[in-house]
Every structure is written in C-alpha cells, then in structure tokens.
Amino acid sequence: MSDDYNPPQTPLDVLHEDAQLIIVNKPAGLLSVPGKGEHLADCLMARVAAAFPGALLVHRLDRDTSGVMVFAQTPHAQRHLGLQFEKRQTKKIYLARVWGKLEPKTGTVDLPLIVDWPNRPRQMVCHDTGKQAVTDWRVIRSDEVSTRVRLMPKTGRSHQLRVHMLALGHPILGDPFYAEGPARDFPRLMLHSEELRLKHPDGGAALKFRAPADF
C-alpha cells in the first residue's frame, strides 16, 4: 500500500453492543487491521479498541469496502464467532454497483481463486490450484452504465466478489485493482457489506444486522 493512506476521520458508527458483541459500520477507505508501518496504524480495530477496551478481531473487510463488521468482547465470543465464519454458518449480503448491464437477473459464479503472486494482493481465477469460491447474485436494477446488485458469497476468499464480478465482465465500479477506464473513475469502490446474520455466542439466538450503503 502506498504512503498516501488518508482514512476518513468519521466517528465510530456502532450498530449494536452487548457483553459479547460489537457491531460497527466500517467506512470505506479505512483498514480493518493495522498495516505495516506507523502510517498505517489507524484502522477500525484500533478505533473499536479505543472505545471498547479488550475488543477482539473476528473477521476483516477490505480497506475500500464499507459496511457491517462484528468484533468480539470476550475470548469465548471470538472463538464462537470465528467458528461460525469458518464453518460458513454466517450469512453475508453485499450491495455493489457493477459496470454495464448484468444479465440474467440472478445467477451463481463458481470459480476457484488464488493469489496472483507477481501482482499481489490481486487475486485471479485458477482452475488448477485455486480454492473453491462461490458467489450468488441478484440484480436490483440497471441504468445506462451500471447495475446495482446484491452479492451473497458462499465462501470467504480474498477479493472474491471483486474477481467474480470481473470474471463476468462487470467489474465493481471504482475498484482500484480490477476496474479499468471509465469503470474505475468513481470516488470509491462501490462495494458495501449490507447485512450480516449470525448466532449470538451466548445462547445461539439468530441475529441480523444491517447498514445502508452511501452510494
């Protein structure tokens, strides 16, 4: 990452907080965890820990992705939530705007992914050595240049949604890694973690958290 990291200085947006969980709405442009170097120390983990001492990381969103993230308040909650993500028991719904008219209205991308080592952190499709990656999509509406779509990943690979949309020929707008030309010329990556469903670590109650996108 370059030295021009200037994360937004917006107040922490807490959606829910109890003895086990903290749910926050991450702004685009803010790292989930610290990067290498003092200039990359500001991150959502640090901001959450400042407000909730003892908060623990459960999962991550890309720097340029906004939306719902969960942090744990206890080691028990961290283990419980981590297993839910590992066993694919959570349900994640993302909102994206992609280039062009995405058709048909619904579909599934099943393309294995692997890191593109010479160009990391970029990922790429590789049928020989890639790890399984599956994404369902559902079109909301289209305009002259783009399509608004909900993305439901069944797996949690790095850059999965971004590479899968690119593979369909519809890169996510504003994507600095995978979009080119006019598709890249947007003020931010148009990808937002809109909804997260999980089970509460204390009792297993089904919970749903949502945050609207700002695009």
Q: Which residues are catalytic?
A: 62
Backbone φ and ψ of 12, nearest 5°: -60, 125
Q: Give the Å distances, CA to CA, from 205 to 16, 84, 108, 177.
A: 15, 13, 29, 38
Distance, CA of 14 to chain centre? 17
CA dihedral angle for residue 152, residue 208, residue 143, residue 214, rounded to 10 degrees = -120
